[in-house]
Amino acid sequence: MDEERYQQLLRATGSLQEWLTPLTFADLSRSATTSLIAEQAMAWARWHGFVVRTEVEAIASRLRPRDHRISPLAIAGEHPAGRQLAIEIDSINRVWSIEKLATEADAGKFALWIKWGGPVTLSLIPEKIGVVELPVIATKLAGRITYSREA
């Protein structure tokens, strides 16, 4: 990745982090939390002129068609100027998401990983992937786990 592309990725990562930082919610399920974050990420991408789609086949799944661990990309975007975007959203440190995003970045897309919940603990994330961390608090009450966030 050349320096200009790297700087663009840093700006995109910072911009998405700023967009998501004010997000607050309370007592949501894991899937509702992920959906809300995805809605906000899509709004951010649209605000920057991208046409977005969800659940898009990842390049990695075409390269390894028999590997059922590779799920679709959470969000894919295409800008009229030709730039492309790939976003994954996880509450756990999922290595497969990083591998998928690395493959998307190798194809020229801006690859962004939104990690919500606890901190990122994966140590080998390539610099071609922008990481957005979104702290979220988990609460367990009567056997039910809910997620909340205060900005």
Q: Looking at residue 58, what is its pLDDT?
A: 85
Q: Do 109 and 132 touch, CB atoms closer than 8 A?
A: no
Counting the structural domains of the chain, the total is 1
Q: Looking at residue 122, what is its pLDDT?
A: 84
Q: What pTM value is reported for the model? A: 0.92
Look up tokens 């709004």; give the residue.
43
Q: Looking at residue 46, what is its pLDDT?
A: 98
Q: How far apart (Å, rounded) are the C-alpha atoms in residues 55 and 63?
A: 17
Look up tokens 């969000």; give the residue.
75
Give the number of other CB atoms < 10 A from CB of residue 43. 12
Give the number of other CB atoms < 10 A from CB of residue 146. 17
Instruction: Please give the residue range of the domain that contains residue 25.
Output: 3-149
Task: Please list the rounded mean pLDDT of every run of 10 residues in the chain (151 residues).
Answer: 93 98 97 98 98 90 62 93 96 90 95 95 91 96 94 74
CA angle centred on 42, ends 37 and 43, rounded to 5°: 95
Q: Looking at residue 147, what is its pLDDT?
A: 97
Angle, nearest 10°, between helix axes 30-47 and 3-20? 120
